[in-house]
Amino acid sequence: MKIAVAGSGYVGLVSGACFADFGHDVVCVDKDQSKIDRLHDGVMPIYEPGLDALVETNVKAGRLTFTTDLAEGIRGAAAIFIAVGTPSRRGDGHADLTYVHAVAREVGEALAHDCVVVTKSTVPVGTGDEVERIIADTGCAHRVSVVSNPEFLREGAAIGDFKRPDRIVIGAEDDFGRETMRQVYRPLHLNQSPILFTNRRTSELIKYAANAFLATKITFINEMADLCEKVGADVQDVSRGIGMDGRIGPKFLHAGPGYGGSCFPKDTLALLKTAEDAGAPSRIVEAVVKVNDTRKRAMGRKVLDALGGPEAARGKTAALLGLTFKPNTDDMRDSPAIAVAQALGDAGVEVKAYDPEGMELAAPLMPAVTMCKSAYDAIEGADAVVIVTEWDAFRALDLARVKDLANAPVLVDLRNVYRPDEVRAAGFEYSSIGRAGPKEAS
Shortest spacing between CB 263 and ligand UGA, in angstroms: 3
Separation between Cα atoms, residue 182 and residue 150, nearest integer Å: 15
All residues at 6 or more sequence positions from 419 whose CB lies less than 8 Å from its CB, including other chains? none
Q: Which residues fall within 8 angstroms of residue 153, CB to CB, at 6 or more apart? A: 10, 11, 14, 161, 162, 165
Given the complex with ligand UGA, which of 153 and 408 has the nearer CB atom? 153
Neighbouring CB atoms inside 10 A of 186's CB total 14
Q: How many residues does the chain have?
A: 442
**What mask, x for binding ligand UGA by CB under 6 A, covers residues 301 to 330?**
------------------------xx----
User: For ligand UGA, which is the closer residue by CB, 3 or 263?
Assistant: 263
Decide: 215 and 259 in contact? Cβ < 8 Å: yes
In terms of DSSP H, where are the helices of 97-199?
A: 98-110, 127-137, 158-163, 175-184, 186-190
Smallest gap, in angstroms, from Cβ of residue 267 to ligand UGA?
Answer: 6
Q: Which stretch binds ligand UGA (CB under 6 A): 83-91, 176-184, 186-194, 246-254?
A: 246-254
Distance CA 333, CA 9 (A): 14
94 CB contacts (<8 Å, ≥6 apart)? 88, 124, 270, 273
Report the distance separating Cα 418 and Cα 404, nearest Å.
19
Choose, by CB under 6 A, the member of 162, 185, 259, 418 that binds ligand UGA.
Answer: 259
| 413 strand-pairing partners | 387
- Verify binding: residue 152, ligand UGA, rule CB under 6 A: yes
Nearest distance, CB of residue 221 and ligand UGA, angstroms: 7
Contact 136, 108 (CB under 8 A): yes
Is 263 a residue of the active site?
yes
When binding is defined by CB under 6 A, the residue of 213, 220, 252, 376 that contacts ligand UGA is 252
Among 7, 260, 420, 434, binds ligand UGA (CB under 6 A): 260
Binding of residue 155 to ligand UGA (CB under 6 A): yes
Start-to-end CA span in the chain (Å): 64
Cβ atoms within 10 Å of 366's Cβ, excluding its own: 23
- Can residue 153 be called a binding residue for ligand UGA (CB under 6 A)? yes
**Residue from 101, 154, 314, 403 binding ligand UGA (CB under 6 A):** 154
Residue 16 contacts residue 9 (beta carbons within 8 Å): no
81, amino acid identity:
F
Q: Shortest approach of ligand UGA to residue 152 CB, angstroms?
A: 4
Q: Is the Cβ of residue 328 or residue 431 nearer to ligand UGA in the bound state?
A: 328
Is 434 a residue that touches ligand UGA (CB under 6 A)?
no
Query: Quick one: 119 or 122, whose CB is closer to ligand UGA?
Result: 122
| Contacting range for ligand UGA; rule: CB under 6 A; set: 80-88, 178-186, 263-271, 354-362 | 263-271
* Active-site option among 18, 28, 228, 263: 263
By CB under 6 A, which span of 151-159, 315-323, 342-350, 358-366 interacts with ligand UGA? Answer: 151-159
Distances (CA, A) of 439 to 394, 412, 430: 22, 12, 7
Q: List the interface residues with ligand UGA, window 195-214 (CB under 6 A).
A: 211, 214
Q: How many residues bind ligand UGA (CB under 6 A)?
A: 21
Strand intervals (E) in 208-321: 317-321
Q: Which of 333, 338, 335, 220 is nearest to 285 (CA)?
A: 220
Question: CB of 337: closest distance to ligand UGA in angstroms?
Answer: 10
Residue span binding ligand UGA (CB under 6 A) among the ranges 249-257, 276-284, 350-358, 370-378: 249-257
The reply to whether 254 sits near ligand UGA by the rule CB under 6 A is yes
What letter represents residue 204's amino acid? E
Taking alpha carbons only, the member of 87, 78, 56, 59 closest to residue 4 is 78
For ligand UGA, the binding residues (CB under 6 A) are: 122, 151-155, 211, 214, 218, 252-254, 256, 259-261, 263-264, 267, 325-326
State the catalytic residues.
263
